[in-house]
Structure 1
């Protein structure tokens, strides 16, 4: 079936797959609610529509976070540990130990900068293979604003942008340059 669609169309469908599933569940729930003959079916339809709305919202954020996986390196996520293996460098960082998350728009493509105390920062290109898994990892950071993170990712500035910092303030870099 993938031979039926152009590769660009398949890439677009894969990027927005969660949002499309949420839209389908929302529409199905709405149709069930509209065609309901009993209060129970109305409740089921409304519940499905609410679930679809949440799936649609989360899918839109994930779709906006995903970038084309054409960059260098591979990202893996295993039980809260992010591993990046690149052609020139790499690194491992535990999400619970992270102190700062930044987006460096000075490089092409932009890179995520993950820092923790007493360790070298890990630089991960936003277009690395598997970098879409970072969305799930970043959700574990307490108090992160995913909407702002996605907005800054899609409108990159030509400087180092702070996305998240641990509340205690430990680990802030000595210099931003």
Structure 2
């Protein structure tokens, strides 16, 4: 039997990594302030590790809800695969030319295209779509924070998150 309402449990579950990081920072700072010698240095290390976990936890918690949209995303062997009842496809991370976030009336989509002209549109709310944020992190100049901000913008539009340096700039009608 749980004493917490389901929505509070869901929020705690979603923010669990950030909460663990915050607790580590607090415990580390307590050691730094109250203890001396080796314990003070261990407290500092604990606080720094907690800060890193807190930062990543906040970043992950702010992502769009995963698994409520159509389809399923799999990231394996540096390939992003989207499967859906209405189709899908697969694209290699190494062959990417451009990564965009497209927002339409409270819905966000990843728009991926490679250098061969293959395009793949993935709902940001598809099951497993949160993996895309981390899968793209090796791309030089890619910012998961910029992708998150674009996905949460709430106004219709298309934002280019990353473009391969050698890829030509596409001409789009707005």
TM-score (structure 2 length as normaliser) = 0.89
**What residue is the counterpart of 1:103 in the other structure?**
101
Deviation at 1:152, TM superposition (A): 1.5
In structure 1, how many angstroms separate the alpha carbons of the residues matched to 2:127 and 2:115? 26
In structure 2, how many angstroms separate the alpha carbons of the residues matched to 1:173 and 1:6? 49
**What residue is the counterpart of 1:141 in the other structure?**
139
Which consecutive residues of structure 2, in runs of 5 or more, have no partner in the other structure? none
Distance 1:99 1:14, change over 3 A: farther
Deviations along 1:111-154, whole A, 9 cap, x unmatched? 11011011421111011111111121121221112222221121
Give the 5 Å matches for 1:113-132: 113-132=111-130
Tell me if the contact between 2:33 and 2:40 (Cα under 8 Å) persists in the aligned partners.
yes
**What residue is the counterpart of 2:40 in the other structure?**
42
**What residue is the counterpart of 1:159 in the other structure?**
157
* Greater strand fraction, Structure 1 or Structure 2: 2
Indicate whether 1:91 and 2:89 are aligned. Answer: yes
Runs of 4+ in 1 over 6 A off after TM superposition: none
**Matched residues, number:** 174
Tell me if the contact between 2:66 and 2:130 (Cα under 8 Å) persists in the aligned partners.
no
**What residue is the counterpart of 1:62 in the other structure?**
60
In structure 2, how many angstroms separate the alpha carbons of the residues matched to 1:72 and 1:6? 27
**What residue is the counterpart of 1:175 in the other structure?**
172
In structure 1, how many angstroms separate the alpha carbons of the residues matched to 2:74 and 2:46? 33
RMSD over aligned Cα, in angstroms?
Answer: 2.0
TM-score (structure 1 length as normaliser) = 0.87
**What residue is the counterpart of 1:24 in the other structure?**
23
Deviation at 1:79, TM superposition (A): 3.0
Alignment partner of 1:143: what SS?
A: coil
Deviation at 1:68, TM superposition (A): 4.4
Give the 5 Å matches for 1:6-21: 6-21=5-20
